[in-house]
Amino acid sequence: MSYPERLYFAEDGEAGGTFRPKGHEPELRIGEGGTVVSYLATGATTGGLFGLYRWDMGPRPSGPSAHYHRTMAESFFVFSGTVRLYDGAAWVEATPGDFLHVPPGGIHAFRNESGEPASLLLHFAPGAPREAYFEELAEIAATGRTLTPEEWTELYLRHDQYMV
């Protein structure tokens, strides 16, 4: 394996980092007392290289069922609590420090069923506009809107989410 094509062509380096302090307000809340999402780095802010999100789940059961993506890989790193991670073959009770990487097309899922809060990092590469998907889910939860199976399928297709 070699390094990818060069992305920066200037003669010297430049200041370009983006700092996010610990106390920064999260960008999204999904459901009352449910999941809180922090957009640490979006595809838009990384030039499409990756997206990185902090996913803080409340004590109620939450998380998507088994699915896969055609355009991106997804990785999970557990910060706190216990999160059930599915690698397409088996569920694992993941605890702080555990990591799962899923390549494009890899079936996966994550769930907090512990009855306690849990927190993890979600990493997507390349950086897709996942915020639109998360925000649409939050809007559905906030309004109590019920989608038909056809509407769910259309929503998932728009966001590269193929349910198994």
- Mean pLDDT, range 123-136, rounded to an integer: 96
Tens-place pLDDT, residues 13-38: 999 999 999 999 999 999 877 899 99
> What does the pLDDT read at residue 28?
95
Question: What are the DSSP E strand ranges found in the chain?
Answer: 28-30, 35-41, 51-57, 67-68, 73-80, 83-86, 91-94, 99-102, 109-111, 118-125, 162-163
The CATH classification of domain 28-163, taken from the options 1.20.120.80, 3.40.50.150, 2.60.120.10, 3.20.20.70? 2.60.120.10
Measure the CA–CA gap between 125 and 49, rounded to whole angstroms.
6
pLDDT band at residue 9 using 50, 70 and 90 as cut-offs: very high
